[in-house]
């Protein structure tokens, strides 16, 4: 029973309440609009405890008083937040087989070298037919459980480990942190929850890969990763396939919390639909808040991101270096082609003594793409002996694109050591011709040159991810030269 826009929220909430969860499958999408009742309805759908509802409502009230940030170097038509639907139930019936999937999408998967079975999963083919990876996922779960690692959908964690969720939710990114974080806090649909107990080294790379396949996540996912004293975890987010998405706004929040000597490594390969390369129509607005708190002594948080998709990217994975001797890292490759715009970078906030941060950002602009690095390094008064190294390199491909750099440096302690390097280069005709003259075609040449440019970031990615990221760059930049 599909809903129509004319239905009022009250009716909707009431009916949901009466009908319970049995109608979930039929009840696919909330009608557009956002008010407290919608927030209540979302919470109700997810059978959330009262405290979480209150948490959402508090965030919503903050959000209502906030205004959308305009300082970023991105331009887009005004978003009508009342025209968006804030809850999509279980996925609509997907295609039954690969034959029903858009051949264009399949072609891209093929280029990415994704195995056939995974292509089916990614394309949203009903997973009822049992694929190998289903059993793989089960094996994963057993192994993690044995190690004591909790890894589950956020909504599941709310029910199974409410005390942990309650303790850490919003502890790094408060609900009123910024406009999009507040919106997310009010309406977040699902996400991942990871908890690595004291002294445990997570036995495998955790990835949303399997879970996303099993269940489409919404546009407002929320991820929370906690590593206790001495724990280590590496988390991979996103798949390298272009998930076509008819919805426009994607506002996620990721919180990382690292206790004493804990290490959290978070890698993202983001390739949402970038919009029409010829006209700039459509595509995802990717407005994401990611922050890590290196809370305890000697903790380390490392962000690595490869951002090739989305019409607009607005994200600044940051680290608060609160504990003494903590380390924060940010390695980023951002690609804008077609009419994509990216305003991305990081914040490193040095609070503790002898804290150390490293920033390596590689921006690549092609087509009409506009790429902005925006980064803040802040050394607070008490941060004796803090050190930062920043390197921001931009590469331009073609005549119509742009690269911009906005580094903000705020040093309040004279013992700080700061290094900042920046460069802008252009893929030269010379370089391409040189490759051509050795037998390499232009596309291979561009991919080689760009991959060389991004090398320092790619080597931070887990091996198999690095390979996919390279291929993804090739696909993203296809046709950008000559």
Partner 1 sequence: MLDIQNLHASVEGNEILRGITLQVRAGEVHAIMGPNGSGKSTLAQVLAGRDEYDVTDGSVLYGGEDLLEMAPEDRAREGIFLAFQYPVEIPGVSNTYFLKAALNAVRRHRGQSELDAVDFLRLVREKMKLVKMDESLLQRPVNEGFSGGEKKRNEIFHMAVLDPTLAILDETDSGLDIDALRIVADGVNALRGPERAFLVITHYQRLLNYIVPDFVHVLVDGRIVRSGGKELAFELEEKGYGWLEQEARSGTTQADKTAPVGATA
Q: Applying CB under 8 A, which residues contact partner 1?
A: 428-431, 433-442, 444, 448-449, 451-456
Q: Alpha-carbon distance 373 to 280, whole Å?
A: 21
Q: Report the chain's C-alpha Rg in angstroms.
A: 22
Q: Alpha-carbon distance 153 to 193, whole Å?
A: 6
Closest contact distance (angstroms) between CB of 403 and partner 1 is: 16
Angle at 373 between CA 370 and CA 374, to 5 degrees: 125
User: Helix, strand or coil for residue 148?
Assistant: coil
Q: Alpha-carbon distance 183 to 204, whole Å?
A: 33
Closest contact distance (angstroms) between CB of 340 and partner 1 is: 23
Q: Which residues pair with 196 in a beta bridge?
A: 227
Question: In the complex with partner 1, which residue's Cβ is closer, 285 or 453?
Answer: 453
Closest contact distance (angstroms) between CB of 435 and partner 1 is: 8
N-to-C CA span, the chain? 50
Closest contact distance (angstroms) between CB of 396 and partner 1 is: 15
Which distant-in-sequence residues (6+ apart) come within 8 Å of 305 by Cβ?
Answer: 267, 268, 269, 270, 315, 317, 331, 332, 333, 334, 344
Closest contact distance (angstroms) between CB of 434 and partner 1 is: 4
Closest contact distance (angstroms) between CB of 455 and partner 1 is: 4
Closest contact distance (angstroms) between CB of 427 and partner 1 is: 10
Q: Alpha-carbon distance 400 to 447, whole Å?
A: 19
Picking from 335, 220, 361, the residue whose alpha carbon sits closest to that of residue 274 is: 335
104: which DSSP letter? H
* Inter-residue contact 370 to 401 (CB < 8 Å): yes
Picking from 444, 445, 441, 447, the residue whose alpha carbon sits closest to that of residue 473 is: 447
């Amino acid at each position: 029973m599909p809903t129509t826009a004319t239905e009022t929220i009250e009716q909707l909430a009431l009916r949901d309440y009466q009908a319970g969860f049995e109608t979930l499958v039929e009840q696919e999408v909330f009608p557009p609009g956002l008010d407290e009742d919608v927030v209540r309805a979302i919470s109700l759908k997810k059978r959330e405890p009262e405290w979480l509802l209150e948490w959402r409502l508090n965030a919503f009230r903050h959000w209502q008083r906030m205004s959308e940030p305009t300082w970023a170097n991105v331009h887009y038509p005004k978003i009508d937040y009342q025209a968006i639907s804030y809850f999509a139930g279980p996925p609509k019936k997907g295609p039954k087989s690969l034959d029903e999937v858009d051949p264009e999408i399949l072609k891209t998967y093929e280029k990415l070298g994704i195995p056939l079975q995974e292509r089916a999963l990614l394309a949203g083919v009903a997973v009822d037919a049992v694929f190998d990876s289903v059993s793989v996922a089960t094996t994963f779960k057993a192994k993690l459980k044995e190690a004591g690692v909790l890894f589950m959908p956020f909504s599941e964690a709310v029910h199974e480990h409410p005390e942990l969720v309650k303790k850490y939710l919003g502890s790094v990114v408060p609900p009123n942190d910024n406009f999009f974080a507040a919106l997310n806090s009010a309406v977040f649909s699902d996400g991942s929850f990871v908890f690595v107990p004291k002294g445990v080294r997570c036995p495998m790379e955790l990835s949303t890969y399997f879970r996303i396949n099993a269940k489409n996540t919404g546009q407002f996912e929320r991820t929370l990763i906690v590593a206790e004293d001495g724990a280590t975890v590496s988390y991979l987010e996103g798949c390298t396939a272009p998930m076509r998405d008819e919805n426009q706004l994607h506002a996620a929040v990721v919180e990382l919390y690292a206790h004493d000597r804990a290490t959290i490594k978070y890698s993202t390969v983001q390739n949402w639909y970038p919009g029409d390369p010829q006209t700039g129509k459509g595509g995802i607005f990717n407005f994401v808040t990611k922050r890590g708190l290196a809370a305890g002594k000697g903790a380390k948080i490392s962000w690595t991101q490869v951002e090739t998709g989305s019409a607009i990217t607005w994200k600044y994975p940051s680290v608060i270096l609160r504990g003494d001797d903590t380390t924060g890292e940010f390695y980023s490759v951002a690609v804008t082609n077609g009419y994509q715009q990216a305003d991305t970078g990081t914040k490193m906030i040095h609070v503790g003594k002898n804290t150390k941060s490293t920033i390596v950002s590689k921006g690549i602009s092609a087509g009409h793409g506009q790429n902005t690095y925006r980064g803040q390094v802040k050394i607070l008064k008490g941060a004796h002996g803090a050190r930062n190294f920043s390197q921001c390199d931009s590469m331009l491909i073609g005549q119509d694109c742009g690269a911009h750099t906005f580094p903000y440096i705020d040093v309040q302690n004279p013992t700080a050591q700061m290094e900042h390097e920046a460069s802008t280069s252009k893929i030269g005709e010379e370089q391409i011709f040189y490759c051509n003259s050795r037998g390499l075609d232009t596309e291979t040449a561009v991919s080689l040159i760009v991959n060389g440019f991004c090398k320092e970031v790619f080597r931070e990615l887990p091996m198999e991810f690095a390979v996919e990221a390279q291929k993804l760059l090739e696909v993203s930049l296809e046709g950008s030269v000559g």
